[in-house]
Amino acid sequence: MIETSVTRYHPVAVALHWLLGLALIGNFALGLYMADLPFSPARLQYYSWHKWAGVLVLTFSLFRLLTRWLARPPALPKAIEAAMPVWQRLAHQATHHGLYLLFFAVPLLGWAYSSAAGFPLVLFGVLPLPDFVPVSEGLAEALKPLHKFSAFAMAALVLLHVAGALKHRIVDRDGLLQRMAFGRG
């Protein structure tokens, strides 16, 4: 066990972290559930919800990135960083960079797929968002597996992120998770 004081993330960053995490998990689960349903009004509604959640993921991600630029995240405590093998520090960095890339790529690929397939995105059923690719069956067929693959890649990185967090909580007991906790202390 490493005894160390841990500097917390900004409260807005903490809130966005957990909101984004819940949105990602919920939207991934909805995507898995709806993908193989037979055509029905319910399936169409689930697709709408999935798209709306994707726009929320994109919005939360943008705010999260802006928050990260405006309120730099705290550095890893020196004692924790020194105790981590090089491969763990590299995995930490690669996972975070990969997640940030996929926070944007997954919803944008989904939006592009929806546009190419000829299904416009109408946020909450009232606000039409622009299509940013033309309707094209060939493009839609190319984008669909990219969206799916990137979503599964993001799910894998989320699981890796959670596993790393649990390691710090259960094995290392170094207090690192307190950086992203609500409240004081």
Interval 31-90: pLDDT, tens: 999 999 999 999 999 999 999 999 999 999 999 999 999 988 888 888 888 888 999 999
- Whole-model pTM: value is 0.90
Q: With 80 as the cut, is the pLDDT of residue 183 above it?
A: no
Q: Rounded to the nearest 5 degrees, what angle is found at the Cα of 66, between the Cα atoms of 61 and 70?
A: 150
pLDDT the model gives residue 173: 87
Domain 11-180 belongs in CATH node 3.40.109.10: no
Element (H, E) at 101: helix 86-116
Domain ranges within the chain, ordered by starting residue: 11-180
At 106, phi and psi to the nearest 5?
A: -60, -55
Specify whether the CB–CB gap between 2 and 178 falls below 8 A. no
How far apart are alpha carbons 76 and 74 in whole angstroms? 6
Cα(92)–Cα(159) distance, rounded to whole angstroms?
Answer: 13
Please provide residue 128's backbone torsions phi and psi, each rounded to the nearest 5 degrees: -70, 130
| Cα end-to-end distance, the chain, whole Å | 18
CB 154 within 8 A of CB 148: no
